[in-house]
Amino acid sequence: MSNSAIDVAQLKSLVAFWLTDKSNSKALPPLHKPQHGQRFFYRRLIAALISSSSLVSQCLFTYPAFAETKAYCQLSPEARSEKENLLKGSLKGDSDFQTNYKTLVKQHAEESIQCHSQNWPPHEGIWLRLYPCDLRPGVLDEVLDRIVNRGYNQINVEVFGNNGQVLLPQSDNPTPWPSVVRSPGYENIDLLAQVIQKGHERGLQVYAWMYTINFGYNYSLRPERESVVARNGYNKLAEVKIPEGVQAFVDPYNQQAKIDYYRLVQEVVKRHPDGILLDYVRYPRGMGSEAVVSKVQDLWIYGDAARAALFNRAMNNKGRELINRFLLNGFITAKDIEAIDKLYPQEGSPLWQGRNPTASEMLSGAQARQPLLQWDLWQLCLAHAVQGILDFVNLAILPAQQQGIKVGAVFFPDANKVKQNSGQTGFDSRLQAWEKFPTPMDWYFMTYSSCGNTSCIEDEVKQVLYRASPNRQLNVSLAGIWGQSWNNHPPLEVQMAAIHRMAPQINSVSHFVFSWQEPQLESERKYCQLE
C-alpha cells in the first residue's frame, strides 16, 4: 500500500475505526468490515501499516484504550487498569460502573476466546486455591480478572486439597471432610458454584482439582476412619509431615475410603465443572532410605482391606499360605515350600493371579524352586499395590463420566522409575504407574525439574510423549512465574517457547500456581478474617 492510496486523514479514520469498532464507515476507504473473528487479524495489519509507513509521524494521536492482547493472550496494562477501576466503582454501588464492568468482562471473555483460537496454546490454565475471604464482595471477581489479564482460559480450582477440607457449603456437605468456609452466616454459600459461574462469565473453563489417595490428616483422626489409613509391613501409618501439616494416605482397597471419595465426587459433579483433575493418584513420597521400595514391607499393602484383597488373589491353598508367609517375613525359604507341600499334598504348584508355572515345576526340589517363587511373590505384591490405585481411580471417575464431564490425572513423570538409594535398587516409593491410568483420562504431567534452563523439562516431556498414545490428551504443567527466573526455573515464557518448539502437538499448558504470580493478593486472601 503506497502513501498515495490513503492520505493521513483516511489513515487516522481507518485506525480509529478498527480499534474502537465504530459503525460509521462513510469516510473510510473501500474495505469490507470484517467479521468478529477477523478483528484480531486487522488490528495486527493496521499496527504493521503504522509501524512501516512514512506517515507514522503524522498519525500520532490518542484513542480510547482497547484490550489488545499480547503474547499468550495477555491483556494490555491499559485494559487491566480500566477493568480494575470499573470493578472498584461497581463495588461502591454505582449502576453505570456496574453496567460498564459487566460489559468489559464480557468483551474480555470474547477476546480471550478469539485469541486462543488463533494462537498457541489454545488451552492455557493456572492452578488456584480459594479461601473463605474470597466470599467478600469483589474479591473473587478480582482474582478471576487477574487470571484473565494474564492470558489464561482455564482454572484448576482446588476443591479437595492439602488441608483436608472440601469446597462445599456446610449446609450441603455430606462428606466426612470439613468445609473450607465455616464462618457463621455463610453455611449456605456455595463458593465452588460461585467460581464456576463467575469463571464461565469470563470465558474460563473451570476444572475441579482434587486430591485422591491423600485424604488429609483430619480424616485419619476420626475414630471410625482410623483403619482406613494405609499401613506398611513395619506397622507404620501412611502419614507424611510437610510444611503445611500432615498428609494421610488411605488404603485404596478399603471400602469405606471408596464410598467416601465416590460421594465427594458426586457432590462436585452436581456443580457442573468443566472437568475433574485427580491429584495424588499414588502412595506417599518417602524421604531418605524410604524413597525407594525394595522390600515387600516397604509397600502400603498391610491394611486389613489390602491384605484381604491380596489373599483373595491366591488360586489355591498353597498360594495363599505362601503369600501369608511372604508378607510376614519379607521372604520365603525352602523349608516354607516343603511345609506347604506337606500341608496340601493334593495340590500342584502354588498359584495366584498372573502366575503360570511350567508343568514340570513340581519335579524340582524346594531349594531349586525357592528363587523363582520368591520373585513371583515380589512381583505379585508390587502389582497388587499398583492395581489398588488403578481400581480406586476407575471407580472415582464414574460420576463424572456418567455426566459427560472430562477427567484428568495429575502425575510426575519420574514417579514410576526404578531407583537406587543407599545401595538398594527398587522402585520410586510413590509407585505412580501413570502409563496405566484409565484411557478416558487426560494426562496432566508436572514438569517441575529445575536445572537453570529448559533441558530437564524437555527430557520429562519426551518421556511422557514416548509412552502416550496418539489419542491421549496431554497437558504440560510448568512451575514458575512470568518475566523472571524463580527457584532455578526459567521464566514461564521461556519454558513455553521450549515446549512449543519441541512438541507443537501439545495444545494444553498449565502453570503452577496462582499464588506465586500474585503473592500479595494471595497473602491478603489467605490471612484475612471473613466477617
3-class SS letters over 208-274: EEEECCECCHHHHHCHHHHHHECECCCCCECEEEECCEEEEEECCCCHHHHHHHHHHHHHHHHCCCC
What pLDDT is attached to residue 226?
84
C-alpha cell recorded at residue 1: 500500500
Distances (CA, A) of 422 to 295, 330, 425, 428: 14, 19, 9, 14
What pLDDT is attached to residue 422?
64
What pLDDT is attached to residue 498?
97
Query: What pTM was estimated for this model as a whole?
Result: 0.86
Strand partners, 246: 241
Mean pLDDT by 10 residues, the chain (531 residues): 39 39 35 39 40 34 37 94 98 97 98 96 98 97 98 98 94 97 97 98 98 95 92 96 89 98 98 98 93 96 98 98 98 98 98 97 97 98 98 98 98 91 83 96 97 96 96 97 95 97 97 97 95 74
SS3 476: strand
Query: Which residues, other chains included, contact 391 with Cβ-Cβ below 8 Å and sequence gap of 6+?
Result: 252, 253
- Single out the residue of 240, 370, 351 nearest to residue 300, CA to CA: 240
**b/e for 51-72, b at 16 or more Cβ within 10 A?**
eebeeeeeeeeeeeebbbbeeb
What pLDDT is attached to residue 244?
80
C-alpha cell recorded at residue 464: 511422557
What are the extents of the domains in the chain? 8-64, 296-393
- Single out the residue of 436, 442, 504 nearest to residue 471, CA to CA: 442
DSSP codes of every residue in 75-93: BPHHHHHHHHHHHHHHHTT
What pLDDT is attached to residue 423?
67
